[in-house]
Amino acid sequence: MFEFLLTKEEKELQEEVRRFVREEVPSSLIRAMDADQVKYPKEYMKSLSARNLLGLRFSKEWGGRGMKWTGEVAAIEEIGVLGSGMSCLYSLVSICGEAIHHFGTPEQKGKYLKPTLEGKLCCAEALTEPRGGSDFFGATTFARKDGEDYILNGQKRFVVGAEGADYFLLYAKTASEAEPHRSISCFIVERDDSVEVKHVYGLLGSRGGGTGRLYFHDTRVPAKNLIGPLHGGVLVFNRMMIPERLTTAAGALGMARCCLEIATRYTDRRKAFGETIRKFEAVSFKVADSIAKLDAARSLVYVTAKHVDEGFDSRRMVSEAKKTSTEMLWEVVNHSMQVMGGIGYTSIYPIERFFRDARLQMIWTGTNEIMNLLIQHEFYKETLNKQSGVRDVESDAMDLEGEEEKVYE
């Protein structure tokens, strides 16, 4: 239904990813990841790269396809049906790759981006610290200059790929006295013996990606691994937040869609009181609410993709897409489970796994409260600064004499 928004090349990509998801990812891997038997599915990443499906937006020179966000969003919606663990690992290439592709030197792109897209290296992003993720600029991990290197000390937590990634896109404080927004730098940090993975969390869902806590003990990072300007990590961070949030939003569409499809098929067959249960409005209206919300979220995600592709400042749109799509997913998973009754709560159907995956989407890549913070901030700024040329509707109030009653303090 939304295919008309895609170019011919993007439609072909969508078909290609559907085929990949259908034929090349064994259910046994999904089950093993959910059972925490897999620390990092390297074979999955390799098979994606063998199909040239990683880093679609990046230029062909570095192994990408030079496509736009609309194409990538369509691809991630398809990957989303594999669940949050696989969707996240797929998206990490887009997120870390964005920083290297946009800010990296040709040498950095050749050494890290290209082999990542070729499936030879795996990447992870290390932003969150034990002391807090929302307050990103309060980071305390410190990188001290030492000759041609930086010496890194500190901790990061909840890092997907802590167990399996070859390198980390990491933010550290480089200026101890400067204000937070001018004191953080972004580095590519290769895993070596000084990087300790201490603890793998027991996660409710989104398992199998090797999520863990990282300790850096005097880790030596060559100064040439600095991404973007020294103390200018804010620029890299702001840029990375676009793929960070848009990939989460797009993955949520795929998860919601497949839950709804399972529920639709089930309620068309299951009988109660001599009727198929879809005849009960209590059931079919939940399906109606779900599909309307899914289509609304998808519309917003695709419009946001276009907005980014056109080069606009997309901070508000990207935050809205992330919040709307992940809250839609939570509602759709719950409706899907509800209309399936008890069996929906069991592992006979995968809805319970999507339910566990879905809960995370409102927390990671910036919580939805942080999305609200950004959305209102941008909207106040836009509205209060606007010379919009639109009608002054306040002057249409019934009481023409009421100006003096507009008391604000």
Rounded to 10°, the helix 315-339/281-309 angle is 160
Q: Does 370 bind ligand FAD (CB under 6 A)?
A: yes
Query: Could you tell me the smallest distance in angstroms from the CB atom of residue 156 to ligand FAD?
Result: 6
Near ligand FAD in 56-95, by CB under 6 A = none
Q: Does 133 bind ligand FAD (CB under 6 A)?
A: yes
Query: Could you tell me the smallest distance in angstroms from the CB atom of residue 128 to ligand FAD?
Result: 3
Alpha-carbon span 271 to 283, nearest angstrom: 12
Q: Does 126 bind ligand FAD (CB under 6 A)?
A: yes
Q: Does 248 bind ligand FAD (CB under 6 A)?
A: no
Q: Does 366 bind ligand FAD (CB under 6 A)?
A: yes
Q: Which is nearer to ligand FAD, 253 or 362 (CB)?
A: 362
Query: Could you tell me the smallest distance in angstroms from the CB atom of residue 50 to ligand FAD?
Result: 24
Interface residue with ligand FAD among 360, 362, 371, 375 (CB under 6 A) is 360
Length of the chain: 409
Q: For ligand FAD, how many residues bind (rule: CB under 6 A)? A: 24
Classified as helix, coil or strand, 206 is: coil
Alpha-carbon span 227 to 98, nearest angstrom: 11
Alpha-carbon span 164 to 118, nearest angstrom: 16
Q: Does 26 bind ligand FAD (CB under 6 A)?
A: no
Interface residue with ligand FAD among 197, 200, 373, 378 (CB under 6 A) is 373
Query: Could you tell me the smallest distance in angstroms from the CB atom of residue 63 to ligand FAD?
Result: 22
Q: Which is nearer to ligand FAD, 2 or 137 (CB)?
A: 137
Q: Which is nearer to ligand FAD, 260 or 362 (CB)?
A: 362
Q: Which residue is nearest to ligand FAD (CB)?
A: 133
Interface residue with ligand FAD among 77, 78, 98, 125 (CB under 6 A) is 125
Q: Which residue spans within 251-365 are E strands per DSSP?
A: 271-272, 275-276
User: In the block, which residue shows the tokens 């700024």?
Assistant: 381
Region of 273 (left: φ > 0; alpha: ψ -120 to 50; beta: rest) is: left
- Give, rounded to a whole angstrom, the gap between the first and last alpha carbons of the chain: 51
Q: Does 255 bind ligand FAD (CB under 6 A)?
A: no
Rounded to 10°, the helix 233-269/315-339 angle is 20
Q: Which is nearer to ligand FAD, 124 or 234 (CB)?
A: 124
> Angle at the Cα of 200 (from 199 to 205), degrees rounded to 5?
150
Give the helix/strand (H/E) hosting 114: helix 114-117
Q: Which is nearer to ligand FAD, 107 or 135 (CB)?
A: 135
Q: Which residues of 71-109 are buried (b: 16+ CB within 10 A; e: fewer)?
A: bbbbbbbbbbbbbbbbbbbbbbbbbbbbbbbebbeeebb
**Integer angstrom CA distances of residue 377 from 11, 237, 315, 373, 374:** 36, 18, 10, 6, 5
Distance from the Cα of residue 104 to its chain's centroid: 21
Q: Does 158 bind ligand FAD (CB under 6 A)?
A: yes
User: In the block, which residue shows the tokens 């570095």?
Assistant: 62
- Convert residues 188-217 into a mask of x (bound to ligand FAD by CB under 6 A) and - (unbound): ---------------x--x----x------
Query: Could you tell me the smallest distance in angstroms from the CB atom of residue 203 to ligand FAD?
Result: 5
Query: Could you tell me the smallest distance in angstroms from the CB atom of residue 32 to ligand FAD?
Result: 18
Query: Could you tell me the smallest distance in angstroms from the CB atom of residue 273 to ligand FAD?
Result: 42
Q: Does 333 bind ligand FAD (CB under 6 A)?
A: no
Here the tokens at position 254 are: 């795929």
Alpha-carbon span 182 to 4, nearest angstrom: 44
Query: Could you tell me the smallest distance in angstroms from the CB atom of residue 81 to ligand FAD?
Result: 19
Q: Does 36 bind ligand FAD (CB under 6 A)?
A: no
Here the tokens at position 315 are: 């901070």
Interface residue with ligand FAD among 50, 288, 292, 363 (CB under 6 A) is 363
Query: Could you tell me the smallest distance in angstroms from the CB atom of residue 326 to ligand FAD?
Result: 12
Q: Does 160 bind ligand FAD (CB under 6 A)?
A: yes
**Integer angstrom CA distances of residue 5 from 9, 71, 216, 303:** 12, 10, 45, 9
Interface residue with ligand FAD among 152, 159, 227, 246 (CB under 6 A) is 159
87 contact partners, CB below 8 Å, separation of at least 6: 76, 79, 80, 247, 251, 254, 255
Residues that bind ligand FAD (CB under 6 A): 124-128, 132-135, 158-160, 203, 206, 211, 360, 363-367, 369-370, 373
